[in-house]
């Protein structure tokens, strides 16, 4: 018995799924095949996932005469003929719902991702593994076309629906001819022309399996590191194992750019000591040193207003912005940077004694319920005055060493390195985990403060020799704690892990709260 | 609203013999005109919004026909409108989303059903049930049963749906009962075709006015003592009349089949899915020829006892396919068979899922058990079992594969649009709670309900449209901190003004209400309301980019008129001001109702206005400035605190270009409309200094370009590489 061809389209709100459905219906009608479509648009103008479902009967209505085909409104799991999707996670979702089957379903999917909020909002890297999604999709279809739909859409200057239509038309499953689809799109206006370009690109992509294979190959391995490692002097190469060279090349360049040669030497000396300690414990190993090499470089190049001003006032930065916002050569471009320096940022550049006095004054203000002092600034980096200001700030690099922040960071770095040394002395695993905790340090302001407090707390309570457990157990505890520390801002997961391993939860931080609580009724007010 | 339905309106004008191609809900709209409807009303809501939207825009054609169209304030006002058909031979139709809309309309529907109608009345309800639904999962069927209304559930075939609309009016007139027609989401959006008929101009209409009111007739009031008589009329006259009509006109369809000793009774709306399910086991062909006899109920209430009894007689078994719970139809059939002592075994919810959408897979579960017992000589049961098992196995295999690689697929709920004016307010609420501690937030229906999703996860309860302030009344007296109620302007006018504001003022409640004044009922498709910026304001606005919500002050004036003493209006994108205003409301000594109007026009509507305007300027070679935000990849710290305060679709992640850093950095992709939230958040929350605002001017004037050239020469001289 002839059965209708069933097609499920997945798109995100605003991607033209409705238009695509209309085109398909129109193309089928143009060719004379019975067709029916329906959709679950939901709140479709937004970015939620939406699906459209079509059935096309592959026999001409003219051959069927008066007989009317009954077409369905829901996809049948496993009996789907074509699954087309503009986003890889949505394809995987339908596959996970059991809709596609190896026996029957042809899959045409974008290899591109549009990240969900849940993935984006994580403190570390919450993105799904694309290779896993691809594997799932490829294993559950009779044939699978993975296309760079986003790229083709950009190239054609259209909406992804046109590319999807072209790819469906070319896959050989539908009875309509190319002219039917093109008639459905029409060709009068500029947007119709763009749609036709997108259609053609989608068509060719499916016909040329080879390009798909290339795109897949680009997609699957880890993205290549952007810059090749800058050269490393021979003395360094002799001193450190080859596994470290790439990181060291970047680290050295970073610190030279950040401060000066003396600072680079300090880095090298610190790392040398870690390596020596590691090789005493485990002569064949250098993993702990490798971890330290990365995190130490980033920590030593800590972010402050001097650094930010420097980065924001470079010529290559303005060029990058120009490209990002797609400004043409004869367009006027104005760039404003959002800064909000507070007293801590200023104190960072002052000598320790002055800085402390300033911060104490701030503390007293906060205790009185006053808001923290800060200055929201919008600086026009394209303007002469704005640029002068930034360059002036950047030039403070020379006095950075005398600032309180510098002293504080160096002392914390020494604490961390001491903990790594102590850890390595007891067991390699413990030292390695402590080295990896360097990852917790990043950013500015409250982000940086939170990372630092977490690091110190973990080192103190899970790393110290006083803990009764074996070094291996403590290494595991530290690993769990580090992972938990990256889970939520409030530190709920971290506290749970700490307590599970017998350590105290992080101490409550004193924070002024504006309180407007009401008293229970009946009490005199 | 800025969307144009001119194409759809053209289709409404079609005459006899022309073929209409389009969506189910538009076919229904056309059918209303073919039926000579005199007045149409309703309240917007998916999936039936288009019916009203198109009719409202087709005003000039409606005037030509003499049809009155009203965009009602809520479903109760729409249902009350149907009162016109109690005395007068006017055909009336209203529409809304069910079950929520029917709940709101219930009072008027009861009072309409009791005296009964003279002119045919049809309520087109969008049955928001199953996949894609956005409301509680309940059945409209209960309302038809309790109030004595007709309930139609036509086969999702455009011709049949259109026929059923025409019959519904006649059936309503024959029985004096108001009719409900339930259309599932997929049926509303089904794209098909039918052959049109001419539209009928109503005999009494806005063009043909009545000269005299009806004479006084106490019997037509829903008022005692005649209500006791109405109740008797319902079962003594109206239901029998309806049954006679249904049977005489063959509204329910009987399809014979080779297994004559078996039968399936199915709701009309499920027919196509059932045929597709039967096809899988070779029990039906592509044209709907079923091997099992079918009784398709295009009218699901009232049932026609003789029809059911005749269908069931001499059968080995009958299976009822009835979606949703409880199984009213199956229960009624069981009672009917028992009373007539018909011994045919009856099955339904014993083998089919109790709740949820009846997809082909759900139906296959029932078919499997049923055919195991009644078709043991066929492979049907084995085939169904195999299919269901294959589905289970495939799902399990994928789940395990993902699990082995440590992946779970995150949901993708809808989120605020790019540049939505409501997003910044949720940022401010999140920030305000850092200063005053966690709050109880009473949420509401509308776009702002998207604030309950990540990254904001804000809101404790949703009690109905416009109910947020009222639903706090029991919480706040027992809570130390004040409670925050959030309401949209849609909800405010739909219900919130009376159930919330008036009640809070009357009781002197210490409450905080935040009203999103975006100018439209945006979640249902940006329909206009009383506080929508006037067309005149849109016309005179020199800068088409700006929000025009402030040009309509109806909400503020209404609140002041009611006696609200603490009222603040804040532009939503000013996150810091909004945060400060919230803190003020929560710490103020003022003990009464405090209202914050969060003003910012719906970005969707703004963009629909802006895009053609800019395109036109560019075409003419005139100066156009666009704004885009961006993130400096080498300054971004990879913590994503900005995303936790925004969730904007264009603020996303990319691989960290820094070879030393591992966490992905934030990035702003194409599509950013430059709303300014990124900058406002960077300041209000003291985020990392990686955000920049870029203003790109196309077709700049000579002077502007000259300044730019001089300036960049100086800037370049100052910059290192």
SS3 B580: helix
Give the mean pLDDT of B422-438. Answer: 95
Reported confidence tier of residue B132, pLDDT bands at 50, 70, 90? confident
Write out pLDDT tens, residues A113-169: 999 999 999 988 999 999 999 999 999 999 999 999 999 999 999 999 999 999 999
Q: Answer yes or no: is pLDDT of A523 > 90.
A: no
Q: How far is the alpha carbon of A50 from chain B, nearest alpha carbon, in Å?
A: 8
- Measured distance CA(B172)–CA(B169) in Å, rounded: 5
Residues of A in contact with B157 (CB under 8 A): 70
Q: What is the structure's pLDDT at A470? A: 84
Residues of A in contact with B401 (CB under 8 A): 132, 135-136, 139
CA distances from A295 to A253, A303, B461 (A): 15, 13, 45
Answer yes or no: do B273 and A325 touch at CB < 8 A: no
Residues in Cβ contact with A222 at an 8 Å cutoff, skipping those fewer than 6 apart? none
Tell me, yes or no, if B244 comes closer than 8 A to chain A by beta carbon: no
Residue A434's φ and ψ, nearest 5 degrees, are -65, -35
Q: Answer yes or no: is pLDDT of A226 > 70.
A: no
Among the listed residues A452, A124, A344, the one whose alpha carbon sits nearest the alpha carbon of residue B686: A344
Which of A22, A317, A374 comes nearest B686 by C-beta? A374
Residues of chain A above pLDDT 70, percent: 92
Give the mean pLDDT of B425-438. Answer: 94
Provide the mean pLDDT of chain B. Answer: 95
Residue in the block written with tokens 């402390």:
A356
Q: Answer yes or no: is pLDDT of A40 > 90.
A: no
Which of A89, A125, A129 comes nearest B405 by C-beta? A129
Q: Answer yes or no: is pLDDT of B695 > 80.
A: yes
Residue B112's φ and ψ, nearest 5 degrees, are -85, -40
- Measured distance CA(B424)–CA(B447) in Å, rounded: 13
- Residue among B434, B566, B580, B639 with most chain A CBs within 10 A, to mutate: B639
Write out pLDDT tens, residues B311-358: 999 999 999 999 999 999 999 999 999 999 999 999 999 999 999 999
Q: Answer yes or no: is pLDDT of A512 > 80.
A: no
Answer yes or no: do B694 and A123 touch at CB < 8 A: no
Q: Answer yes or no: is pLDDT of A228 > 70.
A: no
- Residue among A8, A98, A104 with most chain B CBs within 10 A, to mutate: A98
Residues of chain A above pLDDT 90, percent: 67
Answer yes or no: do A225 and B279 touch at CB < 8 A: no
Helices A160-170 and A190-207 cross at an angle (nearest 10°) of: 40
Tell me, yes or no, if B643 comes closer than 8 A to chain A by beta carbon: yes
Q: What is the structure's pLDDT at B121? A: 98
Q: Answer yes or no: is pLDDT of A487 > 90.
A: no
Q: How far is the alpha carbon of A467 from chain B, nearest alpha carbon, in Å?
A: 31
- Residue among A121, A230, A436 with most chain B CBs within 10 A, to mutate: A121
Do B639 and A443 meet the contact criterion of CB atoms below 8 Å apart?
yes
Among the listed residues A79, A83, A177, A178, the one whose alpha carbon sits nearest the alpha carbon of residue A137: A83
Q: Answer yes or no: is pLDDT of A308 > 50.
A: yes
Q: Answer yes or no: is pLDDT of A213 > 80.
A: no
Q: Answer yes or no: is pLDDT of A467 > 60.
A: no
Nearest chain A alpha carbon to B653: A120
Q: How many CB atoms lie within 10 A of CB B714?
A: 14
Reported confidence tier of residue A459, pLDDT bands at 50, 70, 90? confident
Answer yes or no: do A381 and B698 touch at CB < 8 A: no
Q: Is the peptide bond before B302 cis (omega within 30 degrees of 0)?
A: yes
Q: What is the structure's pLDDT at A522? A: 62
Give the mean pLDDT of B256-268. Answer: 97
Write out pLDDT tens, residues B433-482: 988 999 999 999 999 999 999 999 999 999 999 999 999 999 999 999 99
Residues of A in contact with B661 (CB under 8 A): 298, 442
Q: Return the number of CB contacts < 8 Å for A and B.
A: 370
Q: What is the structure's pLDDT at A50? A: 86
Q: What is the structure's pLDDT at A367? A: 83
Write out pLDDT tens, residues B202-233: 999 999 999 999 999 999 999 999 999 999 99
Tell me the pairing of strands B527-528 and B651-654.
Answer: unpaired
Q: Answer yes or no: is pLDDT of A14 > 80.
A: no
Q: Answer yes or no: is pLDDT of A212 > 80.
A: no
Reported confidence tier of residue B2, pLDDT bands at 50, 70, 90? confident
Q: What is the structure's pLDDT at A222? A: 53
Angle, CA of A15, A20 and A24, to the nearest 5°: 170
Residues of B in contact with A93 (CB under 8 A): 409
Nearest chain B alpha carbon to A515: B436
Residues of A in contact with B360 (CB under 8 A): 72, 74, 76
Write out pLDDT tens, residues A416-427: 999 999 999 989
Give the mean pLDDT of A45-55. Answer: 81
Reported confidence tier of residue B26, pLDDT bands at 50, 70, 90? very high
Write out pLDDT tens, residues B174-201: 999 999 999 999 999 999 999 999 999 9
Q: Answer yes or no: is pLDDT of B1 > 90.
A: no
The larger pLDDT score, comparing residue B5 to residue A46, is at B5
Reported confidence tier of residue A517, pLDDT bands at 50, 70, 90? low
Which of A71, A78, A227 comes nearest B391 by C-beta? A78
Do B718 and A384 meet the contact criterion of CB atoms below 8 Å apart?
yes
Write out pLDDT tens, residues A264-273: 999 999 999 9
Q: What is the structure's pLDDT at A44? A: 44
Provide the mean pLDDT of chain A. Answer: 89
Q: What is the structure's pLDDT at A525? A: 45
Q: What is the structure's pLDDT at B133? A: 86
Q: What is the structure's pLDDT at B4? A: 85
Q: What is the structure's pLDDT at A507? A: 84
Among the listed residues B239, A262, A31, A417, the one whose alpha carbon sits nearest the alpha carbon of residue A23: A31
Answer yes or no: do B359 and A97 touch at CB < 8 A: no
Q: Answer yes or no: is pLDDT of A206 > 50.
A: yes
Q: Answer yes or no: is pLDDT of B621 > 50.
A: yes
Q: Answer yes or no: is pLDDT of A217 > 90.
A: no
Write out pLDDT tens, residues A67-78: 999 999 999 999
- Measured distance CA(A381)–CA(A364) in Å, rounded: 35
């Amino acid at each position: 018995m002839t059965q209708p061809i069933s097609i499920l389209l997945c798109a995100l709100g605003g991607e033209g799924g409705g238009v695509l459905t209309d085109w398909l219906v129109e193309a089928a009608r143009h060719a004379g095949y019975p067709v029916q479509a329906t959709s679950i648009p939901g709140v479709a103008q937004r970015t939620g996932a939406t699906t459209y479902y079509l059935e096309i009967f592959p026999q001409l209505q003219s051959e069927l005469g008066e007989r009317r085909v009954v077409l369905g409104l829901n996809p049948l799991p496993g009996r789907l003929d074509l699954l087309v999707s503009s986003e890889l996670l949505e394809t995987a979702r339908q596959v996970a719902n059991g809709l596609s089957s190896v026996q029957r379903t042809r899959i045409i999917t974008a290899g591109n991702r549009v990240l969900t909020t849940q993935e984006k909002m994580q403190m570390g890297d919450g993105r799904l593994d694309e290779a896993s999604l691809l594997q799932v999709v490829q294993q559950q279809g009779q044939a699978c076309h993975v296309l760079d739909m986003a790229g083709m859409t950009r190239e054609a200057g259209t909406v992804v629906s046109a590319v999807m239509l072209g790819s469906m038309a070319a896959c050989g499953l539908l009875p309509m001819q190319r002219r039917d689809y093109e008639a459905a799109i029409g060709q009068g206006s500029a947007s119709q022309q763009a749609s036709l370009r997108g259609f053609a690109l989608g068509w060719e992509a499916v016909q040329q399996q080879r390009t798909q294979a290339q795109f897949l190959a680009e997609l699957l391995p880890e993205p290549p590191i952007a810059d090749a490692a800058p050269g490393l002097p021979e003395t360094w190469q002799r001193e450190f194992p080859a596994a470290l060279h790439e990181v060291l090349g970047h680290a050295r360049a970073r610190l030279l750019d950040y401060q000066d040669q003396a600072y680079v030497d300090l880095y090298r000396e610190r790392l040398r000591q870690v390596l020596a300690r590691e090789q005493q414990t485990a002569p064949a190993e250098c993993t702990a040193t490798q971890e330290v090499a990365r995190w130490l470089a980033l920590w030593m190049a800590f972010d402050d207003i001097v650094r930010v001003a420097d980065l924001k006032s470079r010529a290559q930065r303005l060029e990058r912005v120009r490209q990002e916002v797609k400004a043409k050569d004869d367009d006027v471009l104005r760039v404003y940077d959002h800064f909000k320096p507070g007293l801590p940022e200023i104190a960072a550049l002052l000598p320790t004694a002055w800085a402390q006095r300033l911060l104490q004054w701030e503390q007293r203000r906060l205790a009185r319920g006053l808001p923290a002092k800060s200055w929201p600034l919008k600086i026009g980096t394209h303007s002469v005055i704005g640029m002068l200001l930034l360059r002036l700030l950047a030039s403070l690099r020379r006095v950075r060493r005398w600032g309180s922040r510098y002293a504080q960071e160096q002392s914390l770095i020494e604490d961390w390195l001491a903990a790594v040394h102590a850890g390595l002395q007891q067991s390699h695993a413990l030292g390695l985990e402590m080295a990896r905790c360097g990852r917790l340090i990043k950013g500015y302001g409250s982000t940086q403060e939170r990372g630092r407090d977490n690091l110190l707390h973990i080192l103190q309570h899970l790393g110290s020799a006083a803990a009764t457990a074996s070094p291996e157990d403590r290494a595991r505890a530290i690993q769990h704690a580090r992972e938990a520390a990256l889970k939520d801002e409030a530190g709920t997961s971290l506290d749970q892990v700490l307590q599970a391993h017998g350590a105290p939860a992080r101490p409550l931080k004193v924070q002024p709260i504006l309180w407007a609580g009401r008293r229970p009724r009946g009490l005199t007010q | 609203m800025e969307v144009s339905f001119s194409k759809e309106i053209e289709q409404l004008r079609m005459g006899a013999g022309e073929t209409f191609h389009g969506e189910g809900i538009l076919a229904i709209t056309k059918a209303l005109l073919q039926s000579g409807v005199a007045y149409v009303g309703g309240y917007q809501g998916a999936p039936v919004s288009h019916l009203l939207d198109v009719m409202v825009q087709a005003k000039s054609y409606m005037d030509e026909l003499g049809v009155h169209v009203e965009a009602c304030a809520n479903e109760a006002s729409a249902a009350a409108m149907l009162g016109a058909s109690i005395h007068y031979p006017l055909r009336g139709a209203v529409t809304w989303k069910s079950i929520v809309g029917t709940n709101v309309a219930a009072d008027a529907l009861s009072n309409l059903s009791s005296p009964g109608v003279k002119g045919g009345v049809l309520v087109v309800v969008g049955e928001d049930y199953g996949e894609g639904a956005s409301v509680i999962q309940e059945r409209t069927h209960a309302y038809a049963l309790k109030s004595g209304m007709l309930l139609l559930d036509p086969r999702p075939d455009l011709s049949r749906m259109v026929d059923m609309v025409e019959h519904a009016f006649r059936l309503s007139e024959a029985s004096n009962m108001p009719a409900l027609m339930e259309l599932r989401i997929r049926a509303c959006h089904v794209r098909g075709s039918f052959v049109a008929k001419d539209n009928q101009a109503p005999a009494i209409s806005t063009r043909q006015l009545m000269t005299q009111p009806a004479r006084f007739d106490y019997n037509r009031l829903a008022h005692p003592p005649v209500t006791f008589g109405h109740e008797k009329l319902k079962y003594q006259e109206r239901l029998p009349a309806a049954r006679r009509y249904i049977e005489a006109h063959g509204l329910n369809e009987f399809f014979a089949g080779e297994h004559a000793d078996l039968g399936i009774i199915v709701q009309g709306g499920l027919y196509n899915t059932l045929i597709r399910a039967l096809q899988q086991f070779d029990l039906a062909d592509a044209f709907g020829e079923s091997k099992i006899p079918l009784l398709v109920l295009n009218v699901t209430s009232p049932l026609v006892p003789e029809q059911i009894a005749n269908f069931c007689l001499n059968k080995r078994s009958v299976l009822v396919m009835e979606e949703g719970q409880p199984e009213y139809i199956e229960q009624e059939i069981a009672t009917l068979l028992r009373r007539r002592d018909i011994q045919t075994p009856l099955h339904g919810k014993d083998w089919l899922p109790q709740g949820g959408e009846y997809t082909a897979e759900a139906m296959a579960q029932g078919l499997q058990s049923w055919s195991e017992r009644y078709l043991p000589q066929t492979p049907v049961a084995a085939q169904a079992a195999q299919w269901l098992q294959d589905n289970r196995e495939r799902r399990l295999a994928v789940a395990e594969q993902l699990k082995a690689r440590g992946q779970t697929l995150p949901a993708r709920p809808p989120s605020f649009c790019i540049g939505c004016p409501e997003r910044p307010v949720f940022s401010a609420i999140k920030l305000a709670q850092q200063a005053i501690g966690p709050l109880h937030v009473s949420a509401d229906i509308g776009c702002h309900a998207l604030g309950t999703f990540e990254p904001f996860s804000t809101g404790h309860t949703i009690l109905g449209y416009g109910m947020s302030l009222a639903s706090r009344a029991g919480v706040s007296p027992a809570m130390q901190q004040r409670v925050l109620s959030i309401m949209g302007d849609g909800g405010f006018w739909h219900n919130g003004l009376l159930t919330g504001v008036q009640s809070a003022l009357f009781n002197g409640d210490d409450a905080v209400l935040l009203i999103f004044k975006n100018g439209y009922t945006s979640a249902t498709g940006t329909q206009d309301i009383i506080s929508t910026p006037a067309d005149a304001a849109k016309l005179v606005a020199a800068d088409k980019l700006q929000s025009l919500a402030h040009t309509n002050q109806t909400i503020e004036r209404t609140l002041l008129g009611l006696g609200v003493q603490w009222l603040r209006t804040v532009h939503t994108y000013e996150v810091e001001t909004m945060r400060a205003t919230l803190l003020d409301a929560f710490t103020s000594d003022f003990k009464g109702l405090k209202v914050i109007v969060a003003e910012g026009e719906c970005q969707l509507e703004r963009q629909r206005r802006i895009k053609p305007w800019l395109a036109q300027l560019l075409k003419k070679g005139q100066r156009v400035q666009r704004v885009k935000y961006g993130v400096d990849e080498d300054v971004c710290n990879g913590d994503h605190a900005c995303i936790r305060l925004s969730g904007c679709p264009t603020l996303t992640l990319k691989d960290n270009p820094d070879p030393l850093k591992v966490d992905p950095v934030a990035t702003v992709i194409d599509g950013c409309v430059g709303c300014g939230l990124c900058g406002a958040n960077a300041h209000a929350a003291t985020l990392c200094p990686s955000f920049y605002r870029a203003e790109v001017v196309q077709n700049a004037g000579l002077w502007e370009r000259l300044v730019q050239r001089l300036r960049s020469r100086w800037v370049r001289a100052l910059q290192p590489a």
